[in-house]
Amino acid sequence: MQLLAQAAEAANLAPIGQGLVYGLASIGPAIAVGLVFSNAIQAIARQPEAAGLVRPIMFLGFALAEALALLGFVLFFLIG
Amino acid sequence: MRLLAAAEGAEFHVPTIAELFEWVPFATYKLAGITFHLSWMIVFLFATVALLTLIWVIGFANFKLVPSGLQNFLEVGVDFVRENIVHPTIGPEGERFMPFLTSMFFFVFSLNVLGIIPGIQFPITSRMAFPAFLALLSYVLFLFVGIRSQGFGHYFGGIMFPSGVPKPIYLILTPVEVLSTLIFRPLTLAVRLFANMVAGHVMLAIFFGATAYFLLHGEGILLRVLSPFPFVMSIILVGFELFIAGIQAFIFTILTAVYIAGAMHPEH
């Protein structure tokens, strides 16, 4: 364990952290954005007259879901 | 562009990400104690603004009820913003935001598309100052619209304490709502535009550089034979960047419109 701790101190872990933070941060929002748009597409396909009602809510939901992925992107720059 | 200037046989220099986005100033001058650096990107920025202004002013100089020529072409753009951005979100009373939203859409699109125009090939919106300032404009606008149409206390009360929620939930809901509305909205507007343009520019640079490296500096015959692959990929990416430029401008504008609509008529 001592060797592991020493190796971790010696190695530069910042790039690994940078890569991990954005990679892990974008899994959830990717699925969420896919869900938002798939449900919006289904809603508009079932009832095309509802497109005007669905579209603003779709964009609002997309913005909120993508916010977390963008936080990961910001942390990428903050780490290193 | 500095990548491709390397001659065959010379050392191939892989630029770092910071190098891809630096603006090399060619003139420096001081005005009132502040140092201004002039670089080609500033020239292109002002040239884009001047070109946009010129096109729109000339198109609508003597505007007729039945359009023709340049006015006809520009009215397609105005109709696009009105039918797809303003009417679905704010409705007919959003007409007074039409100048702002149209200008914002075409400005962001022009700045984005500079990233694929040969000779310039740098999306100006990939420097954080521009998306940050545009997001600040949207932020101030929707706060102002909210305060003016609902009153200060009513507007912020509506953000912090949405109706139809049992009282104890407010302990966790209010901080989340404040964070989401007052802090996340401008931040994500700026970072979304910035991140998309940065990523696109880096990808274009990687594939252009890979084509140059495979073709000119590859050792042996294998890399040179494989060089059409990054070349085809860079062609595809230029088309993709054009698409992304349009989409990001559209998303920036429609989110501003959605936030304005939310400030004018709060969803119950």
List of chain B residues with pLDDT < 50: 1-9, 268
Closest CA of chain A from B168, distance in Å: 24
pLDDT at B258: 92
Contact B203, B237 (CB under 8 A): yes
Q: Quick one: CATH architecture of A26-80? A: Up-down Bundle (1.20)
Task: Flag whether residue A30 sits within 8 Å of chain B, measured between CB atoms.
Answer: no
Sorted by where each begins, the domain ranges of chain A are: 26-80
pLDDT at residue A10 greater than cutoff 80: no
Residue with tokens 């252009």: B208
Answer positive or negative: Cα dihedral of A63, A67, A73, A77: positive
Nearest CA in chain B to A68: B188
Mean confidence (pLDDT) of chain A: 87
pLDDT at B266: 76
pLDDT at B267: 64
Query: 0.90 cut: is pTM over it?
Result: no
Answer positive or negative: Cα dihedral of B192, B195, B197, B199: negative
Contact B15, B210 (CB under 8 A): no
For chains A and B, CB pairs below 8 A equal 41
Mapping DSSP onto H, E and C, the string for B92-103 reads HHHHHHHHHHHH
Chain B residues with a Cβ under 8 Å from any Cβ in chain A: 87-89, 180, 184-185, 187-188, 191-192, 195, 251, 254-255, 258, 261-262
Query: Distance between CA atoms of B250 and B256, rounded to whole angstroms?
Result: 10
Query: Are B258 and A59 within 8 A, CB to CB?
Result: yes
| Helix (H/G/I), strand (E/B), else coil: B122 | coil
DSSP calls for B108-121: HHHHHHTTTSTTT-
Residue B8: which H helix or E strand, with range? none
Question: What interface predicted TM-score (ipTM) does this complex get?
Answer: 0.79
Nearest CA in chain A to B261: A56
Mutate to test the interface with B, among A73, A78, A79 (most CBs of B within 10 A): A73
Residue with tokens 């696109």: B200
Quick: pLDDT tens for A19-76. Answer: 888 899 999 999 999 999 999 999 999 999 998 889 889 998 998 898 888 888 888 8
pLDDT at B10: 60
pLDDT at B216: 84
pLDDT at B246: 93
Question: What does the DSSP 8-state code read for residue B217?
Answer: I
**Closest in A52, A55, A70 to B188, CB measured:** A70
User: What residues of chain A, 46 to 75, have a C-beta less than 8 Å from chain B?
Assistant: 51-52, 55-56, 59-60, 62-64, 66-67, 70, 73-74
Query: Are B180 and A67 within 8 A, CB to CB?
Result: yes
